[in-house]
Amino acid sequence: MSPMQFQFGFHMSFVFAEVTRAYVSCVFGVTEVGLSTAIYGASSLLTSLFAGKMFGRLGRKIPAAVALTLNVGVYLFYILWVPQENSNVVVIYVLLFACGIIDGCMQMVTSVMAKIVFPDTTDQAQAAWTFWCTMGFTVTFAWSTALCVFVKVYIMFGVLLFATVTHGK
């Protein structure tokens, strides 16, 4: 359970710390950061609402699969795309929209999983969920200026694969 929650915090903080700095403000200017993060937030909100309704009908595997598929695609895009001054700003909007979908799905998957693992102690489940997500945030912000973005993307990819393999075990 904890690797997936760690990865969730890792992903969110990467979007806030690295994507806004390395992909949005560096290429398109700081004026695009607000709209970009608003697109991310709106996408996450709508996905959370939709994923919450989906859990009742289809379980948590479909939102988890959607998040995993999009996450792999987004990380591959980070690796392959070289932002340039003439890049279209719509590309970053679509990228952050996809990141919001990942966030919305993973928020539902990881919080529901914590309650499944600890059915009698939901307070402890919520505390564990918050702890591991915050650890993901802490690591990402701690190394924010120590590593280049390209290296961080590979590390994020590795953490995602590890979290996926150990999910539910």
For 20, the token pair is 């806004």
pLDDT score for 64: 80
Count of domains forming the chain:
1
As a residue count, the chain comes to 169
* Confidence (pTM): 0.86
Per cent of the chain over pLDDT 70 is: 98
What pLDDT, on the 0 to 100 scale, is given for residue 132?
87
pLDDT at 130: 86
DSSP H or E stretch at residue 127: helix 122-142
Q: At which residue do the structure tokens 């290429």 appear?
A: 27
- The CATH number covering residue 96 comes to 1.20.1250.20
* pLDDT 10s digits, 116-137: 777 788 788 888 888 988 998 8
C-alpha 82/C-alpha 149 separation (Å) is 12
Is it the case that residue 6 has pLDDT exceeding 60? yes
What six digits make up the tokens of 60? 């948590």
55-110: pLDDT as tens digits? 777 777 787 888 889 999 999 998 998 888 778 888 889 999 999 999 988 888 87
Per the structure, the complete domain to which residue 139 belongs is given by 2-166
Distance (Å) of CA 6 to CA 16, 48, 54, 110, 164: 16, 19, 23, 10, 11
